Amino acid sequence: MFTVDLYLQPVVSLPQRRTVFYESFSRLRDESGRVMMPAEYLSVAEPEGLVSAIDNLLLFRCVQIVRRLAKSDRKVGIFCNISLASLGDEVFFPQFLEFLAKNKDLAGALIFELGQTAFSERGSTEARNMAKLADLGFRFSLDKVNDLELDFADLSRADVKFLKISADVLLDQLLEVEGRMALRTMRDLQASDFAALTRRYGVEVIAEKVEAERQVIDILELDIGYGQGHLFGEPRAIRDQVLAETAPPSDFMQAALRRRTAGGR
């Protein structure tokens, strides 16, 4: 028997280092209380068809946590991971969309996040369902961004408002060209103008996996306004009491379980 825990990690504004968002993570805890990281628990969850149920539970709890924060007048947003499987799930997604329609007043505080690779692999169904979320006012973020040769017009059409790029990837891109700093994949662009370019398309860059003060100095020179990483705060578990208060309704979880029995991810 496993328990699904919710962890939150701060995303801060730079240079102030004020928490303006949180990113949510799921972790599995076994009967002994040992916390399992994703690489470990996926090997257990995937064969049992539990990954979708975990994804769906996390999505629901993110909405409930945002609601709880709003009640206490804490003006912060939450990044919540959403998988292509959930976006394309014909059983789960319509019910989740209905749930969000009833909570669309929270659209400004809840950002759905998927990886750059997943975004590029989305099909017509997933793109259409992303558009339905955007119609309700919800925004998107891409994480695990490794390729900076981006189609900004496509990002804008898909209502992607944030790009999360690891500090190492960003700083490894830097090189000197004719006496100025540029990016390897965009040599005609001054490195410090990259964030300004993304902003022209309504996209903010977040430097993630920031581990050292020296990285912060370099990131600020790139005019990047947000940072995330252990330097600013490690992921912390939400208390069991709060999770109990945000337990999902039975019909919500039944959609996830029906998918499991149907053999989907």
* Structural domains of the chain, with CATH: 3-261 (3.20.20.450)
Output DSSP code: residue 106: G
Strand (E) or helix (H) holding 257:
helix 250-261
Model pLDDT, residue 1: 57
Q: For the segment 90-103, what is each residue's pLDDT rounded down to a tens digit? A: 888 898 899 899 98
Model pLDDT, residue 189: 86
Q: Residues in the chain with pLDDT < 50?
A: 241, 249-265
Model pLDDT, residue 33: 79
Name every residue whose Cβ is closer than 8 Å to that of residue 5 and which is 6 or more positions away in sequence.
26, 27, 28, 29, 35, 237, 238, 243
Model pLDDT, residue 260: 44
Q: For the segment 58-117, what is each residue's pLDDT rounded down to a tens digit? A: 888 888 888 888 777 667 899 999 988 889 888 888 988 998 999 889 898 999 999 999
Model pLDDT, residue 151: 93
Q: What is the mean pLDDT of the chain?
A: 84
Model pLDDT, residue 253: 45
Model pLDDT, residue 45: 66
Model pLDDT, residue 210: 97
13 in Cβ contact with 250 (< 8 Å): no
**What number of other Cβ atoms are within 10 A of residue 185's Cβ?**
12
Model pLDDT, residue 48: 64
Model pLDDT, residue 211: 95
